[in-house]
Amino acid sequence: MRILLVEDDPLLQRSLAATLREENYAVDTANDGEEAIFKADNSGYDLIVLDVMMPKLDGWQVLDHLRPQNPTPVLMLTARDTVRDRVKGLDTGADDYLTKPFDSEELLARIRALIRRNAGQTRSVIEIGPLSLDTATREARVSGTPIPLTAREYALLEYLVLHQGEIVTRTELYEHLFDEEDDSYSRLLDVHVSNLRRKLATDLIETRRGHGYLIS
């Protein structure tokens, strides 16, 4: 899953980006509202983590630009803990709201919940045939047996599972599984798909030639 992290504090931005990457998210960053709008308009994201107080354009202005044309879930971060600010964020189109300072585990839990909700899933454990995927623990099982996956293999499987019934193109996988700093993905995607199929030992992942991949 690919996340746009919009935060003008360089220390906090680096810390949050590192935390998200440790959880196998692809992360792009923006330092101000104008850069956030440019990246959100020109790239596909599964979630936007958006600070409120920023230079050039604040979080409210960015959110106002995004909605309603861009339906990407938005989690707003702010140091202003008032009911009025929280209501303003939610009424403007934010999907969730987190007040600084916050615990990284709560941030990650909210991110997982928003991504699941956007995919129409309400539970952390998703079952498709013999496959069971726990998006909270990031574990996969087939017929109850744990399947050891690399971070990239898990990210690929999770994306396909959350888009069950949809043909996912290679371009879409490139855009959502790899961030702006990754330049090696194009020649490795086929390897990841092949390894994932071998480990799952099922025919869950279908190839639609000329189109992409599908879990039905």
Q: Are 108 and 23 in contact, with CB atoms under 8 Å apart? A: yes
Structural domain boundaries of the chain?
2-118, 125-215
Mean pLDDT of 36-42: 95
pLDDT for res 78: 84
- To which residue do tokens 């019934």 refer? 165
Quote the CA–CA distance of 46 and 181 in Å, as a whole number.
Answer: 17
CA atoms within 13 A on the CB side of 12: 18
pLDDT for res 184: 56
Mean pLDDT of 48-61: 92
Instruction: Tell whether the model's pLDDT for residue 124 goes beyond 60.
Output: yes
Share of the chain above pLDDT 90, in %: 59
pLDDT for res 111: 96
User: Euclidean distance between the first and final Cα of the chain, in Å?
Assistant: 20
**What global pTM score does this model have?**
0.85
Mean pLDDT of 93-112: 92
Quote the CA–CA distance of 200 and 216 in Å, as a whole number.
Answer: 15
Residue-wise pLDDT for 155-179, tens only, equals 999 999 999 999 999 888 888 887 7
Return the amino acid letter for 176.
H
| 83 vs 60, more confident | 60
Q: Which fold does the domain 125-215 belong to in CATH? A: Arc Repressor Mutant, subunit A (1.10.10)
- Return the ∠ at Cα 73 (arms to 88 and 61), rounded to 5°: 45
Q: 2-118: which CATH architecture?
A: 3-Layer(aba) Sandwich (3.40)
User: What's the pLDDT band for 113 if we cut at 50, 70, 90?
Assistant: very high
Residue-wise pLDDT for 12-35, tens only, equals 999 999 999 999 899 999 999 999
Mean pLDDT of 60-64: 92
